[in-house]
């Protein structure tokens, strides 16, 4: 094989003769920017306990320090940026036609230092200069050289933007220099290996798809799961037999009858006191029963709102009475009967209603009258309380 043919084959198989994929170089730049934003946000989170004035005053210097560290551990040490490594790209020296000869050479220290000064310190100094002139209103300053320097800086900024746009358009055609600073420093990004130059990693995409499907699964399942019922079931499973409340005496059986045990228990939890604490330490008088309702199963009296709320939250499974530990599923209006009114027993009746207000009566759709024996029994069971209202209410089934 002639030397000319060998030279041609070496050029065809060389990675330097093929410009790197443009989208890979652009993705590398985006990944570098995202990495910087992530690191910066983490630094801000770590410094949230620092005084806000110090943090805001030195935010530019902290960003500069972070850029210097990122440049040191990537370009200076490995001749590649973090995004470039993920895209299988490295930075090489493009001077003296080395790439045309198939030679891949790492950038010299001078080139690395130049690109670091321009990208890191150059950007910092330029923005500080523009900020300094803007704060001191050099644009409106009477001194001629200050106004001229401000206008010159604005013109240079516009010129750099135009040149950077022209370089980007050129990059889209030949894929050689992604930025204007890379062109000035004669640096290019090429594939580290020809065999992997067009290989795309789908690891990140697969991870995103997995998380997306998992999120969709949760959005579908969570509305089906009844969280309060699941919580109650879990609490019943972890409750041991020794910790169960005695069914004959509740832990709030010591409270006076006119005190709502539910109000007392809630106030004791809010106040950080034990539920079995001295009632005087919480103030029982502030927990007097209003609009009294009685639990059908045990006969203890609570506030209407408190009792009905507890029963409805259990959704038919029953609620344990705080005074006796009985399982409560129904409630009705507490009726206090005066002896002078009790004589008129024949006109008293008990109307069953639905707690949710659907307007349905008993199964026969008629009002059930209370017999004289039942009325006398009711009067005897309630004659000990003389402080309640003398109005007869209808019984309510809270189930």
pLDDT at 168: 92
In whole angstroms, give the CA distance from residue 107 to residue 351: 95
In three-state secondary structure terms, 189 is: strand
**Cβ pair 112, 56 in contact under 8 A:** no
Pure H helices in 193-276: 203-221, 227-238, 261-270
pLDDT at 201: 66
In three-state secondary structure terms, 32 is: helix
> With pLDDT > 90 as the criterion, what percentage of the chain qualifies?
4
In whole angstroms, give the CA distance from residue 207 to residue 230: 31
- 140-143 contacts, C-beta under 8 A, 24 or more apart: none
Question: What are 91's strand-pairing partners?
Answer: 189
Helix/strand/coil (H/E/C) assignment for every residue in 361-399:
CCCCCCCEECCHHHHHHHHHHHCCCCCCCCCCCCCEECC
pLDDT at 393: 38
| 242-334, CATH topology level | Herpes Virus-1 (3.30.40)
**Cβ pair 281, 268 in contact under 8 A:** no
pLDDT (tens digit, 9 = 90+) per residue, 246-289?
445 667 878 888 888 888 888 877 655 555 555 555 555 677 88
Please check the confidence at residue 244 and state whether its pLDDT lies above 60. Answer: no
Question: What are 189's strand-pairing partners?
Answer: 91
pLDDT at 146: 81
Better pLDDT: 251 or 8:
251
pLDDT (tens digit, 9 = 90+) per residue, 338-364?
545 544 444 444 444 444 444 444 444
pLDDT at 163: 93
Please check the confidence at residue 57 and state whether its pLDDT lies above 80. Answer: no
Please report, to the nearest 10 degrees, the dihedral formed by the alpha carbons of residues 163, 169, 174, 179 taken in order.
50
pLDDT at 357: 45
Better pLDDT: 102 or 75:
75
Please check the confidence at residue 218 and state whether its pLDDT lies above 60. Answer: yes
- Burial of 344-382, coded b for 16+ CB within 10 Å and e otherwise, reads ebeebebeebeeeeeeeeeeeeeeeebeeeebeebbeeb
Better pLDDT: 385 or 203:
203
Domain ranges of the chain: 3-192, 242-334, 335-399
In three-state secondary structure terms, 333 is: strand
pLDDT confidence bin for 97, thresholds 50/70/90: low
Angle between helices 123-135 and 144-174 (to 10 degrees): 140
In whole angstroms, give the CA distance from residue 337 to residue 392: 7
In whole angstroms, give the CA distance from residue 150 to residue 144: 10
pLDDT confidence bin for 373, thresholds 50/70/90: very low
Q: How many residues does the chain have?
A: 399
Tell if the pTM clears 0.95, that is, is over it: no
pLDDT at 50: 67
Average pLDDT over residues 367-372: 44
Q: Phi then psi for 224, rounded to 5 degrees?
A: -75, -35
Q: What is the mean pLDDT of the chain?
A: 73
pLDDT confidence bin for 101, thresholds 50/70/90: low
Q: How far are the Cα atoms of 132, 173, 236, 356 from residue 107, in angstroms, in the given order?
A: 35, 24, 69, 80
In whole angstroms, give the CA distance from residue 28 to residue 86: 7
- Burial of 307-319, coded b for 16+ CB within 10 Å and e otherwise, reads bbebbeebeeebb
In whole angstroms, give the CA distance from residue 190 to residue 197: 9
Sign for the CA dihedral angle at 371, 376, 381, 383 comes to positive
Q: Take residue 182 and report the two structure tokens written for it.
A: 């890379």
Least confident range of 22-31, 199-208, 273-282: 273-282
Quote the DSSP letter at residue 95. Answer: G
Q: Which of 143, 151, 63, 75 is nearest to 112 (CA)?
A: 75
pLDDT (tens digit, 9 = 90+) per residue, 151-190?
888 889 899 999 999 999 999 888 888 899 999 988 888 8
In three-state secondary structure terms, 290 is: coil
């Amino acid at each position: 094989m002639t030397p000319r043919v060998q030279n041609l084959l070496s050029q065809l198989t060389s990675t330097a003769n093929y410009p790197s994929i443009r989208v890979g170089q652009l993705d590398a730049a985006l990944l570098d920017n995202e990495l910087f934003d992530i690191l910066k946000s983490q630094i801000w989170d770590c410094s949230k306990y620092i005084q806000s004035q110090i943090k805001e005053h030195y935010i530019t210097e902290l960003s500069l320090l972070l850029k210097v560290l990122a440049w040191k551990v990537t370009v200076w040490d490995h001749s590649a940026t973090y995004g470039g490594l993920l895209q299988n790209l490295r930075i090489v020296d493009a001077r003296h036609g080395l790439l045309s000869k198939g030679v891949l050479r790492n950038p010299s220290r001078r080139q690395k230092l130049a690109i670091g000064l321009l990208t890191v310190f150059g950007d910092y100094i330029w923005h500080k200069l523009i900020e300094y002139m803007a704060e001191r209103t050099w644009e409106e300053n009477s001194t001629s050289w200050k106004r001229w320097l401000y206008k010159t800086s604005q013109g240079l900024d516009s010129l750099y933007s135009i040149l950077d746009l022209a370089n980007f358009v050129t990059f889209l055609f030949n894929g050689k220099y992604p930025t204007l600073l890379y062109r000035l420093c004669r640096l290019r990004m090429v594939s580290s290996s020809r065999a992997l130059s067009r290989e795309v990693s789908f690891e990140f995409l697969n991870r995103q798809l997995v998380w997306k499907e998992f999120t969709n699964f949760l959005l579908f399942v969570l509305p089906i799961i009844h969280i309060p019922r699941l919580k109650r079931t879990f609490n019943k499973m972890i409750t041991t037999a020794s910790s169960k409340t005695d069914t004959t005496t509740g832990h709030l059986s010591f409270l006076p009858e006119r005190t709502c045990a539910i109000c007392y228990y809630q106030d004791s939890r809010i106040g950080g006191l034990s539920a079995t604490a001295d009632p005087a330490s919480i103030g029982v008088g502030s927990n007097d029963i209003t609009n009294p309702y009685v639990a059908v199963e045990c006969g203890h009296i609570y506030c209407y709102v408190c009792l009905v709320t507890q029963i409805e939250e259990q959704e038919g499974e029953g609620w344990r009475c705080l005074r006796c530990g009985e399982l409560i599923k129904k409630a009705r209006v507490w009726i206090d009967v005066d002896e002078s009114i009790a004589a008129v027993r024949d006109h008293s009746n008990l109307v069953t209603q639905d707690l949710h207000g659907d307007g349905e009566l008993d199964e026969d759709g008629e009002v059930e009258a209370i017999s004289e024996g039942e009325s006398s029994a009711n009067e005897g069971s309630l004659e000990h309380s003389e402080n309640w209202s003398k109005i007869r209410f209808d019984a309510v089934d809270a189930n």
